[in-house]
Structure formats: C-alpha cells, structure tokens
Structure 1
Amino acid sequence: MTTDTATDVFEEHRPVLLGVAYRMLGRLADAEDVVQEAWLRWSGADRAAVREPRGYLVRVTTRLAIDRLRQVKSRGETYVGPWLPEPYVTDFGDAVPDTAERAVLADSVSLAVLVVLESLSPLERAVFVLREAFGYPYAEIAAMLERGEAAVRQLAGRARKHVDERRPRYDVDPAQRRDLTERFLAAAAEGDLAGLLATLAPDVRLVGDSGGRSKAPLRVLESSDKVGRFLLGVARQGVPDATFHFLELNGGPALLVRSGGKPDSVVQVDVVDGRIQSMYIIRNPDKLVSLAGVL
C-alpha cells in the first residue's frame, strides 16, 4: 500500500473516526487530537497485515479516546459552572440517507445525551457509542476493547440502563424546534414577557456554559418565570453588532449569535408538547472556535 493510498483510506474513514472520538470526549479539539494520533499509528503500521482498515482505525481511535478520558480529571471538579459539550456541526447530508439511521446518529450526539455520557466510565462510554451510535456487533466491540463478549454485553446493558434513566424525552421535530427558537427570540427582543413565557414549559431548565469566561448563569435556572426574566434581561443588555444564524448542531437546529462577526454564543432548545423544555446556551469562547468559519 503506497503512502498516497494510505492517506486516501484514512481520509475515507476520517468522518467516522471523528464521530466516535467526539461522542467519547465531548470536545472537538480533543477528538481531532485523537484522530491525528490515530493517523500517526496508521501511517506507521504494517498496513499489509490489516484486512479491514475501518475496523482497525475505529479500534485505534476508541482506545486512544479511552486513554484520553482516563487522563483527564473529572470536569465537574475543575470547571466553572455547568458543563456542556462543544457544539458540533452535524449536517449529515446525503452521507446518511436512511431516516432511521439519521435519527440514531442525531440522538447519540445531542447535548442532552452527551451530558449523560459524561457520567459513564470510559469503557461504558466506548461500548455505548460503538453499539448504540454505530451499530457494531458485540463480538467486534469485544475484539476492539480486548474484553470478553459477555463482559461487553454487561457493560452495554449497564450503560444503556444508565442513559435511559437519565436521558430526557423530547420531541425531535426540527421545524418545531426552530420555530420555537424564533418565537422566543422575537418575544425577548420585543420585551414581551407574556409572549416569551408562552414558548416555555412551566418547568423549563436553562443550562448556561461559560466556563467562567463570559457572562452566563453559574447554576441551572429552573421554572419559566426565572428563565423568562433572565432572557429578557439578556435581550435588554444586548449583544454589540449582533447577527443571528441558524445551522444544524448536535443533530438539531441551533442559533449561532455572532458579535462583530465572531461567534458569541450558541443557543439550542429541546421541545416537549409544543413548548421549550430545556435550553442550552454555550458562551465559553474556547468551545466556539470551530464555528468561526461556519456560514
């Protein structure tokens, strides 16, 4: 296999490798580092002995991601305020034509699910991602992780139970999510508290992630009254030279707010019964770097 062919093969599988690494780590920069390390392993491997490049590369990437997770201290111990994953552009396009497969991929990369995955062990997270998001058979996962198949099935069951117990249930209609985002944005801009409250569920939750680097709530806000008044306060204060753009992030529509042409914040909502049940606002500038060139 020539160097050019080796590069072509790796680039063919790069989207899958990045998808695995991001779901494992929740941060695009970390995921890209892991994929780059996987490339170094691939370029130095005896590729003639590799019968299935995709399986080999996913195995290497998964193990590197597990090692990275084990090296990093718990985010909850050092992070200022609530933690959310770094926004990830997920326009699957024609690469995923099947509606059911698209829904599975979108759900596995949603902010709500990735937050739950943070509480799994590295091995549980790896098994969950490989099985639930990418559909690998238990036997293949066992080979990748050098574990017995029975142990992998046990890890998968434990991880799935944990996620199912903690994963919120939301309506996934992207048109409805975008419509509600536009409505709350318009109501906030007009100072219309009643109109704003009409878009929010009574027990709505707002999670703001600034990492202590920008203005955002340092605690989760709960109830439509608290969330509504917070959003009105933000609207009154305003964002200098603000522009608003919709794009697909983490499997659903999201609002990207730019200030002076630079990413200022990302807003995404989850909807239940026609009202916003959860709202996520990401303002940590380190997590918005990858969106600088988007749109």
Structure 2
Amino acid sequence: MPAHLGDKLVVAISSRALFDLADSHQVYEEQGLEAYRQYQIAREDSPLPPGEAFALVNKLLRINQLLEGEERVEVVLLSRNSADTGLRVFNSIQHYGLGITRAAFAGGRSPFTYVPAFGCHLFLSTHAEDVRSTLEAGFAAATILPSGQLRQGSDELRIAFDGDAVLFSDESEQVFQRDGLEAFQAHEREAARQPLPGGPFKPFLAALNRIQREFGVEECPIRTALFTARSAPAHERVIRTLREWDIRLDESLFLGGLDKSSFLSAFGADLFFDDQEGHCQRAVGVVPTGHVPHGVSNGKRQTE
C-alpha cells in the first residue's frame, strides 16, 4: 500500500532556509554550477551550519516525540539542488538528528510544483519567486529573510502572524489603502458581524490548532499570536471571524499602528509572517521573519 501523509501538518522547506548555504551559494554565483557541484561533493561529509528556519523545524519535529510516536508533523525538503549536490544537505539532516526523510530535488528548477503533491500547509524558502508561485497556487508560503542571527529560546514553538493578507484576505487592507483610515474603520464597524474571508495562512493556522487541541493547555508545545496594526473599533471583526472559524489564537495584539518589533521580541517568536516588506525589515532584527508577498501591499489585488 502506498504511504499517505493523511491529516498531518506538512511543512515544506528549502535547503537554504534550513541550512546556512551562503558560502556554497557564493561559489555558485561567482564560479557557476560545476564549481558549486564540486564544492558540495568535496564537503558532503561536513555538516552545514543551521539556517534561519532551523530552530523552527527542530521544534516542529519535537512535537512528534511529545506525542509518543504518533507522528502528527511532517517536514519535507524541497530543493533546487540535484540529488548529487543535495547529498550534503541530507547528510547534514542526519548529523543534526532531524526527522526529515522525504525530499524533492528539482535539479535547478523550481520545486514549488511538488507542494500540492505532498499536501503541504506551508512552504518556506529563500527564493522569492518560488514563494510567489506557491501563493498564487493557493498555498501558504513565505520568503525567509536573512538576519545573520541564531536565537536560542525555549522548547515552546511560538509563531506570530500578521492579520490582513496573511490570516485574512486583504479585502479590508484594500479599503484602507484606497480610502484611508477613517473609511477603513467605518467599513469594519459596518461589517463587524461578517466574518473576514480567509487569507493564505488560514489552513496552516487551522492545522496548528488541531495539534494544539491534542494537548492540555498547560502542556501545549505550540503558542500562536496575532500581531496586527488594527485597533478598536476594527478589532471586533477579527475576534468574531476567529470565533466563526473555531480557531484559537493564544495571544492577540491590536497595536493601532505601533511598530511590532518590540512586541515580537517580547513574545519570542520563532517565526513571524507579514505581508508588508517594511514591517518585515524592522522585525527581522529581533525575530526570524517570513515575508508573504500577497495582496494589495505587494502590487496584487486579491478579490477571492
């Protein structure tokens, strides 16, 4: 019988998001593909340093151990490498004891086409075009931004989300950008009892929430938070939307336009998702950050 990933939370990650491949990539950029290939083969028994999303992946896979062998999380490697150059990546996975056994090596092409085949809830990559293509195909994805910092925190997995164009559609953001704050607030007051349409990260949050419910509140290894520029009176629609979806967020911060960075640092996010590049550039100095190139703030109006 063929294996199926069933109702697992499935996260796909690129080689350069999981490991620090800066030196290898520089060889590729400066000397070409064959030099890169020889560079990786010569070092295939030398473990790669952890990358920006390494800690996140480690914590995700730890959830399987806490569930005593009932594997509820699957991490899949999706790489532009060939299997030949990707051997060093797999050897590094084994070196760190990461429970990653499935991979697609696309041999120089975009691997995003395998996101639906694996049933992925999320794709993390450093390649912006792969991320855009994945979002356009209807799956959550984010470009992991370089920070040059590896942060040590607790064993608890902490994930933070922006609201509009990430968890929710950018319907309200379109009103704000077109007509201004006063019109936005009036629109949200009028629509307070109408649930917001879901954004690209709604299925990912729902999958996280299903795992959270398998633990007691005090023992849960996952904590989620919303960090939104909304404030009263626009908060009500968000609260009612999550209630309608029957999705739990552990923390919700309505910041009314305040810079999110210090609040993200206080939360200790392992990864923060936001659609606006300016927010991402400020946040990446304090927490690992993924840019979600979706919606009107990224030059694309979403009407679904």
Same fold at TM > 0.5: no
Structure number with the higher helix fraction is 1
